[in-house]
Amino acid sequence: MVYCWIDNVKLYYDKVTRTTHNTPGVETRIPGWGDPEVVEWIDPTRNKAGAYFKDIANVLADLGYVRRISIRGAPYDFRRAPNENTQFFIDLKQLVEDTYEANNQTAVTFITHSMGSPMTLVFLQEQTAEWKAQYVRRQISLAGAWAGSMKAVKVFAMGDDLDSFALSAKILRSEQISHPSTAWLLPSPLFWKPSEVLASTPSRNYTMAQMHEFFNDIDYMTGWEMRKDTMRYTQNFSPPDVELHCLYGDGVSTVESLIYKKDTINGETPKLKMGYGDGTVNQRSLRACQSWEGYSSAHISTLALKGVDHMGILVHPDVLQYIRTVMLQP
Whole-number Å distance between alpha carbons of 296 and 8:
42
Residue 80 DSSP code: S
Query: DSSP for 10-78?
Result: -EEEETTTTEEEESTT-------TB-THHHHBSSTT--GGGBSSHHHHHHHHHTT--BTTTB-B----T
Amino acid symbol at 68: R
Label the pairing between strands 271-277 and 252-259: antiparallel
Q: Helices marked H in the chain — which ranges? A: 2-9, 37-40, 54-62, 86-102, 116-125, 129-135, 150-158, 169-176, 180-184, 211-217, 221-235, 283-286, 317-327
Is 35 annotated as catalytic? Answer: no
Is 316 annotated as catalytic? Answer: no
- One of 114, 188, 257, 285 is an active-site residue; which one? 114
Whole-number Å distance between alpha carbons of 318 and 250:
14
Whole-number Å distance between alpha carbons of 43 and 279:
23
Based on its alpha-carbon atoms, the radius of gyration of the chain, rounded to whole angstroms, reads: 20
- One of 160, 241, 250, 278 is an active-site residue; which one? 278
Q: Which secondary-structure segment (H or E) carries 139? A: strand 136-142
Whole-number Å distance between alpha carbons of 146 and 114:
8
Whole-number Å distance between alpha carbons of 107 and 42:
27
Q: Which secondary-structure segment (H or E) carries 206? A: strand 205-207
Angle between helices 54-62 and 317-327 (to 10 degrees): 40
Helix (H, G, I), strand (E, B) or coil at 242: coil
- One of 113, 179, 245, 310 is an active-site residue; which one? 310
Is 179 annotated as catalytic? Answer: no
Active site residues: 114, 278, 310
